[in-house]
């Protein structure tokens, strides 16, 4: 699970929009995965299993609190690479600041497809939604980002 944990944490960050909540959710997901390890099928993908588990835990928490997730408060330094150039890191911060204004489902779709490199089908499986939903979320996110940056889609 060690190699998957950084990706799980980024996924939790995309869901929650806050570092402290992402830490808690990632930890809860790992604890749940250990409890349910006997249910894991080794012929499947561990990351998708964990992502789906994290999503369900997050939704359960939202339902329990009867509240909506708060706007993203993610520190842009969390997405900066120490190996990249200064210009690349500045650009990454600018892009991330725009992405964090998107609704959580769109942020998660962007993370899975554009950051993690999942296909639409894999992202849909990880989110337990139809592929069309992923495509719709990505299209809406691209449209919103284009509007916010004055670009044309």
Question: Exposed (0-12), middle (13-18) or buried (19+): which is 41, by Cβ within 10 Å?
Answer: exposed
**Residue the block writes with tokens 């890191």:** 89
- Residue 123 CB neighbours (<10 A): 27
CATH number among 1.10.1740, 2.60.40, 3.40.50, 1.10.260, domain 1-70: 1.10.1740
The domain defined by 83-153 folds into: Arc Repressor Mutant, subunit A (1.10.10)
Start and end residues for every CATH 1.10.10.10 domain found in the chain: 83-153
Radius of gyration of the chain from Cα atoms?
Answer: 16
Mean pLDDT of the chain: 81
Looking at residue 151, its pLDDT comes to 62
User: How high is the pLDDT of residue 66?
Assistant: 58
The CA distance from 136 to 108, in Å, is: 13
Q: Which residues of the chain have pLDDT under 70?
A: 1-2, 66-89, 91-92, 150-153
């Amino acid at each position: 699970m060690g190699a998957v944990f950084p990706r799980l944490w980024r996924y939790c960050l995309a869901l929650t929009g806050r570092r402290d909540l992402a830490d808690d959710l990632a930890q809860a997901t790992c604890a749940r995965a250990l409890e349910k390890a006997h249910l894991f099928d080794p012929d499947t993908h561990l990351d998708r299993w964990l992502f789906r588990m994290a999503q369900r835990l997050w939704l359960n928490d939202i339902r329990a609190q009867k509240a909506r997730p708060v706007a993203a408060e993610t520190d842009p330094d969390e997405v900066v690479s120490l190996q990249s150039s200064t210009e690349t890191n500045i650009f990454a911060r600018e892009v991330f600041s725009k992405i964090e204004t998107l609704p959580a489902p769109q942020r998660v779709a962007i993370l899975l497809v554009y950051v993690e490199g999942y296909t639409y089908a894999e992202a849909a499986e990880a989110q337990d939604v139809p592929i069309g939903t992923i495509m719709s979320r990505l299209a809406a996110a691209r449209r919103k980002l284009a509007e916010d940056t004055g670009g044309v889609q």
